[in-house]
Chains A and B, each alone.
Chain A
């Protein structure tokens, strides 16, 4: 069975500071990995995905994530936080192949302070 662990249910950064949201996965097969963002009262928006191509993945809004197989990690980073980044972020894993379910982590609430 696949699983995702997100360390830190709440992360607070200053505007302009580095954002680092941690995600570790467990999978018996090579995984696909995703980061989704959820703004208040909205659905889930895909930020970026890893699908066994480049290990450093760039997404929308300046976010990127690096797949590290040796560490079973897929941490999300952004060099400089903006107030508009305040949201909840979910890491998710799926089996390779089409149409497979996503297994989500518990989410990390990002707060950006002036």
Chain B
């Protein structure tokens, strides 16, 4: 069964460093998303991406964040200068055009900022 994959599973970085979280969505999907879950809190929407551009973003997704689809398979989330409060589990999701309301989630990347 096709699945969304994410790398790395765990990333530790120092405050102020740049990090790139990687995702490989399901191959025929066209909508891509990033969500995050701070420990003990609910899952929060960050950004959605369609047709090579951001379709919606939340207040959390400020200038420190960016997304990119550098090739036909990867979807990345970059945090330019990490803060302690960026420590969270980051989930990538994708959905297909025929069933675009059903999002499939990856296993997540746990980001720890020290």
A interface residues, Cβ below 8 angstroms from B = 32, 36, 42-46, 49, 51, 90, 92, 94, 96-107
Contacts and interface: CB of A to CB of B under 8 A. Distances in A.
Contact of A99 (B44, B95, B108): B95
A54 B66 CA distance: 39
A49 B101 contact: yes
B45 A98 contact: no
A90 B37 CA distance: 12
A93 to B, nearest CB: 11
**Considering residues B42, B44, B106, which has the most beta carbons from chain A within 10 angstroms of its beta carbon?**
B42
Interface of B: 4, 31, 33, 35, 41-45, 48, 50, 55-56, 58, 91, 93, 95, 97, 100-108
A45 B105 contact: yes
A49 B102 CA distance: 8
B100 A103 contact: no
Task: Report, nearest first, the 10 A-B pairs whose CB atoms are least far apart.
Answer: A98-B100, A44-B105, A101-B45, A99-B31, A43-B107, A104-B43, A43-B105, A106-B42, A32-B101, A104-B42
Contacts, number: 61
B42 A51 contact: no
A44 B3 CA distance: 12
Contacts of A106: 41-42
Given A46-B102, A99-B95, 7 more contacts: A36-B105, A42-B108, A43-B105, A44-B93, A45-B105, A90-B43, A101-B45
A49 B101 CA distance: 9
B91 A99 contact: no
Given A42-B107, A43-B105, A45-B105, A99 B43 contact: no
